[in-house]
Amino acid sequence: MNILNALKALYHKITSKTASGGSIGAVVQELADNWPEGGGSTVVIDSTLSKSGQAADAKATGDALNGKAPATHTHTVSQITDLPAAPGNATTATAGLVKQAEAVAAAAGESPTKAEFDSLLTALKNAGIMAAS
């Protein structure tokens, strides 16, 4: 495409008219004389939100969305699809849920007794934190 044809194509794109000039200078003058108000840049706004390739009207978009789901709402578990299953209990091989262990009394002396240590082990095993065997 030569410069004259490129300018004619530009003129047509900007004005939707066919340039009649036969030289670069003539087409440039036609562009200057027929340049649209606003600089030739127009944005078509689609207030119906139904046309492809056009900018959506912000108010129309907001109004359309306002009629959809409420901003806050709740669902029961049975209404939720693809809800992942709750994790099972922890094992020695797999992470999972554990219960809080029962409180165990602090050691009475400097060194825990066998009974105090066994009490701690039992609480950890009963809560599922430690394997039973």
Each residue's pLDDT tens digit, 6-20: 888 888 888 888 998
Say how far apart CA 131 and CA 89 lie, in whole Å.
Answer: 11
Say how far apart CA 124 and CA 114 lie, in whole Å.
Answer: 15
Residue ranges, the chain, pLDDT below 50: none
Q: In the chain, what's the furthest Cα-to-Cα distance? A: 108
- One-letter amino acid at 26 equals A
pTM of the model: 0.34
**CB distance 53 to 42 below 8 Å:** no
**CB distance 40 to 12 below 8 Å:** no
